[in-house]
Amino acid sequence: MASEVSGEGSVLERLGAALAVRVERWMPSPFLFAILLTYIVFVVGIAGTGTGPADMVWHWYDGFWTFLEFAMQMVLILMTGFVIAYHPRVNDLLTRLTRVPSNGKQAVVLVGVFAMIVGWIHWGLGLILGAVLAREMGKTAHENGVALHYPLACVAAYMGLGLTWHWGLAGSAPLLLATPNNDFIEAGVLEETVPLTETVIHPYGLALTVLSIAFASIVLYLLSPSPERSRGIEEYVSEDELAEAVADGGASEATVEREGDADAVTEPEATVPAERINDSRVLGGLIALTGVAVVAYSLAFAGLEVLNINFVNFAMLFAGLLVYQRPQYYRERFGEAATAAAGIILLFPFFAGIQGMMTGSGLATEIAEALLAVSSPETFPVAAWVAAAVVNLFVPSGGGEWIVLGPSVLEAAQAQGISVGQATMAYAVGDAHTNLLNPFWALPLLAITEIRAREMFGYAIAMLLALIPFLAVVLYLVPY
């Protein structure tokens, strides 16, 4: 590690290296991170709101299971993305993509751009595909003798969750507003749903996304260490495992045979009627086509306004089944995806408990209202971004956080003449931005890349810091 903090390289490169050393030494595991945040919010809630210790404990308990429905929706987004990402043909395309860059800096940027674009389309798919691409990029660099800094490649793979996802088609806040009879309508904050054409698909949201991807790509390039200071995948993944992956040709449990340029998945021969039924492409394909037809019909006749969390999950679920076709094979892939989602399933109740304390004590609302109170119509987007970023440090749940903070943000926006769409998108980037400090959503990526949170989050924090002045400027200057 000493070589990483030498005085050579750009300012950003030295910053990233210095943070990487310190974070690798001090950062706890994601589960302990959640436990420590629980204690912090408990103390701050008592000191900041005057709530008694016993009341804070009951707020924690009451909040523990608040987001069961939302947690299931988020797990489905993650698992459907995981299953599609690990289809042999998709995995093969990613492997081919790793042969495009000629050096480590280009490889890191390619992983980052890919993760941010796919994350905008579907955050679960972007997270898993980005992680798989980072791992495969590390393998290819190792095989070809290219100096790739693997921890930074893993951070690049996390950039969809750290920047673009909440501006995208699977963003919790815009999707919740687009859902009929949502919490904001029932609470009287809004009179009607807000379609994605006023948030995600609006020129404002698209401009923020494009500008941010361009800026983040430049930062990733400048953060990349020189070849002599790069630490390859072999320092994090055993040589035996890398050699086995090369010998397998990257194939998973399905056998992939080459037939010219096409890939064919070899299926085990069914020996009894039950197995033939389980693997029936007719049964799986028919229901998959039915689901896809429902999606296509809804989009054709209702347009983008039909998009919400449940619709996106429905579409991804049946798109995956259409790709795999065989019901039993698809179910087995979901079993593998459950491993990637295990950490989120464990941690989600703890973060729901933290949010219970922040909500029950009024701490979250006080933070948001204090920041929004000092804003003007010109600075409101910046204030909404900062409010979301601060609360997201403690509760990394975009939708759950939006349910709590959304009424304050939207009421303040309407009072200052700010459109609901602009306020929502400004909030959304704050929620995404500080994911670069909290390892909660990185759990599936850590499992796939076999890197520990403390080994990559120094560079994630460097990226977070580099984004602060950029986001402040674009949110202030870009018109709605």
Q: Domain spans of the chain? A: 2-53+78-477
Question: What pLDDT is attached to residue 110?
Answer: 97
DSSP reduced 3-state for 262 = strand
DSSP reduced 3-state for 202 = coil
Residues 46 and 257: beta-carbon distance below 8 Å: no
Question: What pLDDT is attached to residue 255?
Answer: 36
Question: What pLDDT is attached to residue 254?
Answer: 38
**Residue 51 to residue 43: CA distance in whole angstroms:** 10
Q: Which two tokens stand for residue 49?
A: 């709101």
DSSP reduced 3-state for 225 = coil
Q: Which two tokens stand for residue 136?
A: 């495969």
Question: What pLDDT is attached to residue 279?
Answer: 76
Q: Which of 462, 386, 24 has the alpha carbon at shortest distance from 219?
A: 462
DSSP reduced 3-state for 168 = coil
pLDDT < 70: residue spans in the chain: 1-9, 244-271, 304-305, 307-309, 396, 400
Question: What pLDDT is attached to residue 38?
Answer: 92
**Residue 86 to residue 339: CA distance in whole angstroms:** 13
> Tell me: the pLDDT tens digits for 20-46?
888 878 887 888 888 998 999 999 999
The whole-angstrom distance between residue 263's C-alpha and the CA centroid of its chain comes to: 30
Torsion angle defined by CA atoms of residues 246, 343, 166 and 175, in that order, rounded to the nearest 10 degrees: 120
Other beta carbons less than 10 A from residue 94's beta carbon? 19
> Phi then psi for 171, rounded to 5 degrees?
-70, 130
Q: Which of 410, 362, 361, 364 has the alpha carbon at shortest distance from 384?
A: 410
**Residue 239 to residue 235: CA distance in whole angstroms:** 9
Question: What pLDDT is attached to residue 252?
Answer: 41
Please give the angle made by the CA atoms of 162, 232 and 155, to the nearest 5 degrees: 0
Name the pTM for this structure. 0.81
